[in-house]
Amino acid sequence: MIRHGAAWLFLAPAMVILGVFFLLPVIAALFLSLTDYDLYALADIHNLRFIALNNYIELLHRPLFWSALGHTLYFVAVGVPLSMLVSLGAALLLNSPLARCKPFFRTALFAPVVTTVVAVAVVWRYLFNTKYGLINVALSWVGIHPVDWLGDPHWAMPAIILFAVWKNFGYNMIIFLAGLQAIPVELYEAARIDGASFWQQFRHITLPMLGPTLLMVGILTVSGYFQLFAEPYVMTEGGPLESTTSVLYMMYDEGFKWWNMGSASAIAFLLFIIMFVVTVLMLRLGRRGEEA
Amino acid sequence: MMSLWALAMACVMASLLMGCTHRVDPNTLTFWTFGREGEAITQLLPQFERENPNIHVVLQQLPLSAAHQKLLTAFAGDSIPDMTQLGNTWMPEFVTLNALEPLQTRVAQSAVVKPSDYFTSIWNTNVYDGRLYGVPWYVDTRLLFYRNDLLKQAGFDTPPHDWAQWRRMLAATSHPDRGVYGILLPTNEYEQLMSLALQQPDPLLRDGGRYGNFESQGFKRALAFYVDTFRLHEAPDITNVEAGNPWSEFGSGVYDFYFSGPWNIGEFRKRLPASEQDDWNTAPLPGPDGPGASVAGGSSLVVFRNSTHKDAAWKLIEYLSRPAVQEQLYALLGDMPPRRSSWEGGNLHDDPKASAFREQLEDVKPTPPVPEWERIANEMQLVAAEAAAGELTVDQAAVEMDRRTDRILEKRRWILDHNQVAIGGRR
């Protein structure tokens, strides 16, 4: 009994903070999403109406919601595999016995993660500039015409993806590196003695041993990428032609531009449901992969 | 977990600090400004502080894109400044929130702010239910920039006075096969269609702002004129993103007309070479039958109801309302003054490119005084862009605009019908 009491005592600060700063706001937001809290309700709380699921129904009838969801899925479907490939590639290079100056490269490749998104977005806006940007200069060397990266609705999302991948891959790279270092060297030695090529070693030792790490990184990256907001906010403001408006960006507009907190909260919960379903599916797939 | 702890500590610290420093220095006036005005005003304030050594102005400069939500968030969080500049399309929201201090008694006693000296429509955008909530600081409206050399080549000596004439000029100067168009109307900007619609006798909303009035004859006439401009290939069906650099294209004769606001006088002066400066001018907006109205835009200076420095704030408003100071603001930014006497002297009086604005400002109309207006205007333009692309007829577009507007105004109708409290309602 006393031991339980002590445990709760030690847990209390964390539980209180989680309760006050996480659980309580979530419950409040869930309640908000069932009301039409807006500017009029802010002026006088008597103007607040309980409208049950109307916010959700209305959202599902709005074309903008579906297009925002489409842009978000595009970002996740292209961004997550790309980001994981780059992270894994960088981790493999760093883990290679041939690599020199490992601590330096490890720090250098991790650096983008700890920079502030707004500051580097300014730099990337220069890089993406149609006339003077280094990216278009590099493309012109191989004879590709300048691309209006941030002004063309077709290129704005790829530009955002490039920026986001560069900004985030370092974090996953460190996790992969830890996973790679945990693989016993004996396995590779045995494989080499059996005459396995590099590719065979990667396919039959590295990948299976990294399985759980891959799944975890995949889930973390997917849930992070679903919450796309800061990148389009600072790079394109959701444009051009709303081509980079993500679900979270729409929530921000709805909540803070039009001050419809009720419908903004409903967007947040819809996004939560979508992310929850995707995560469960990924876990299922992961488990089936383990059994196989 | 570390970050959660840090957050918790920060919150504790913040609440402790708030407790100690809740009362600020009684002579400190906090003033929020946006965008370009925020930069220019730093040059106007030293003089004010010399005249009023006991008032210290703390200026906060917000980017224009973030200003609206910062103000609303500050109001919700009870951390509003003493005074701010406020776009007159945002004013209905803050009047609805009961956040602004009525100023009519101060104006009545003022030796500087004289209502009769202000452009009437601009002044009236600050009056709700007979109460004055702001003093106009600078004005904004939309009219025509045109290439007088190209119009002359096409056989027209003066800019258009009515839509029929305008249509003939657009037809004569458009050569879509060569990529030359009469006018640029970016399909993602609502100000152009809205200005044409404000020229009509029918209001944009009906029944005291309860329903959209887009199916009225007047609005449909404006929409038809707007849509025809695209159907006849007198304007390209592009957004301002695709338009890229409209200034140099106007200079090279891609467009003969450009439908925009006062800040573009400065842009054209800066961006076009000196040899081309005599080739363009400005003209009041042509109406359906003879000279037409345009939109009454701009920013006012307002004092918040919760301010504890209302006297100091009013002193600053009076200072910024002096004709001499308003002329200075025009010289710095090209922001046009709302007072007739500020137009009498200096640069403005002799500027041939500004005179059309002076004329237009006597004939401007305000946008509907409901907090939802900006959202309605956005929806209106989305539908109008579909009509311009030929996906909807004018009648279908009008029905769709009313449908979307009525949905946005649903809450407002409910409040007007259930509470007897007056909301908005400009007079």
Most A CBs within 10 Å: which of B69, B400, B417, as the mutation test of the A interface?
A: B69
Max Cα distance, chain B (Å): 76
Contact A256 B69 (CB under 8 A): yes
pLDDT of residue A286: 84
In a domain, A11, yes or no: no
Considering its fold, how many domains does chain A have in total?
1
pLDDT value at position B113?
Answer: 93
Has residue A99 been placed in a domain?
A: yes
Cβ neighbours of residue A54 closer than 8 Å, sequence gap 6 or more:
A36
| pLDDT higher than 80, residue B159 | yes
* Burial environment of residue B61 by CB neighbours within 10 A (0 to 12, 13 to 18, 19 or more): middle
List the domains of chain B with CATH numbers.
26-140+296-365 (3.40.190.10), 143-293+373-408 (3.40.190.10)
Output the pLDDT for position A2: 67
Residue A182 sits in which domain range? Answer: 63-291
Å from B30 to nearest chain A CA? 23
C-beta of residue A67 within 8 angstroms of C-beta of residue A242: yes
Q: Could you say which of B72, B412, B419 has the minimum Cβ distance to residue A259?
A: B72
State the smallest CA–CA distance between residue A144 and chain B in angstroms. 20
For position A292, what pLDDT does the model report?
Answer: 58
Helical axes A63-95 vs A102-114, angle rounded to 10°: 160
Residue B25 pLDDT: 62
pLDDT, averaged across chain B:
88
Structure confidence at residue B9 (pLDDT): 46
Domain membership flag for residue A221: yes
Tokens of B61: 């400069």
Contact A47 B371 (CB under 8 A): no
Nearest CA in chain B to A156: B241
Of A17, A40, A43, the CB nearest to B8: A17
Q: Are strands B135-140 and B297-303 parallel, antiparallel or unpaired?
A: antiparallel
Task: Give A118's contacts in chain B (Cβ within 8 Å).
Answer: none
Structural domain includes residue A174: yes
CB contact under 8 A, B75 and A42: yes
Q: Is residue A121 part of a domain?
A: yes
Q: So what's the pLDDT on residue B21?
A: 43
Residues recorded for chain A: 292
| A50 within domain boundaries | no
Q: List, in order, residues 6 or more apart from B419 with CB less than 8 Å away.
A: A44, A46, A47
Which range has the worst mean pLDDT, A139-143, B148-152, B241-245, B303-307?
Answer: B241-245
Paired tokens of B364: 């401007």
Q: Given a cut of 70, is residue B421 above it in pLDDT? A: no
pLDDT given at position A288:
82
Banded model confidence at residue B6, pLDDT cuts 50, 70, 90: very low
pTM: 0.82
Taking 80 as the threshold, does the pLDDT of residue B248 lie above it? Answer: yes
A48-84: burial string, b at 16+ Cβ within 10 Å, e else? bbebeebbbeebeeeeebeebbebbbbbbeebbeebb
**Interchain CB distance below 8 Å, A241 and B188:** yes
Q: Which residue of B has its CA nearest to A16?
A: B8
pLDDT at B337: 93
The 10s digit of each residue's pLDDT in B68-106 is 889 988 998 889 999 999 998 899 999 999 999 999 999
Q: Residue with structure tokens 């390209």? A: B236
Q: What b/e string do you get for B160-185 counting C-beta neighbours within 10 Å, with b at 16 or more?
A: bbebeebbebbebbbeeeeebbbbbb
Query: Which of A158, A28, A234 lies closest to B65, judged by CA?
Result: A234
Q: For residues B405 and B74, what is the distance between their CA atoms, to the nearest angstrom?
A: 28
* Residue in chain A lying closest to B93 (CA): A39
How far does A241 lie from chain B, in Å, by closest CA? 8
CB B337 within 8 A of CB B327: yes
Q: Name the 3-class secondary structure at A41.
A: helix
Is pLDDT at B13 greater than 50 in this prediction?
A: no
Distance CA A120, CA A235 (A): 10
Res A257: pLDDT: 85
**Which of A:153-192 have CB within 8 Å of B?**
153
Say if residues B286 and B160 touch (Cβ distance below 8 Å).
yes
From CA A40, how far away is CA A43, in angstroms rounded?
Answer: 5
CATH number of the CATH domain containing A267: 1.10.3720.10
> A151 and B4: CB-CB below 8 Å?
no
pLDDT tens, position by position, B218-238: 999 999 999 999 999 999 988
Q: How far apart are CA A274 and CA A69, in angstroms?
A: 10
Name, in order, each residue with C-beta under 8 angstroms of A154's C-beta and a sequence gap of 6 or more.
A243
Residues B114, B111: Cα–Cα separation, whole Å: 7
Q: In a structure prediction context, what are the per-residue pLDDT tens digits for chain A, which is 292 residues long?
A: 567 888 999 999 999 999 999 999 999 999 999 999 988 888 888 888 899 899 999 999 988 899 999 999 999 999 999 999 999 999 999 988 888 888 899 899 999 999 988 889 888 988 888 778 888 888 889 888 888 888 788 899 999 999 999 999 999 999 999 999 999 989 999 998 998 888 898 889 999 999 889 999 999 999 999 999 999 988 888 777 788 999 999 999 999 888 899 999 999 999 999 999 999 999 998 888 776 5
Q: Is the Cα torsion angle B116, B121, B124, B126 positive or negative in sign?
A: negative
Is pLDDT of B14 > 50? no
Q: Is residue A33, in this structure, part of any structural domain at all?
A: no
User: How many residues belong to chain B?
Assistant: 427
51-90 of B, contacting A, C-beta below 8 A: 65, 68-69, 72-73, 75-76
Average pLDDT value for residue range B277-302 = 93
Helix axes A63-95, A153-181, angle to 10 degrees: 40
pLDDT at A242: 82
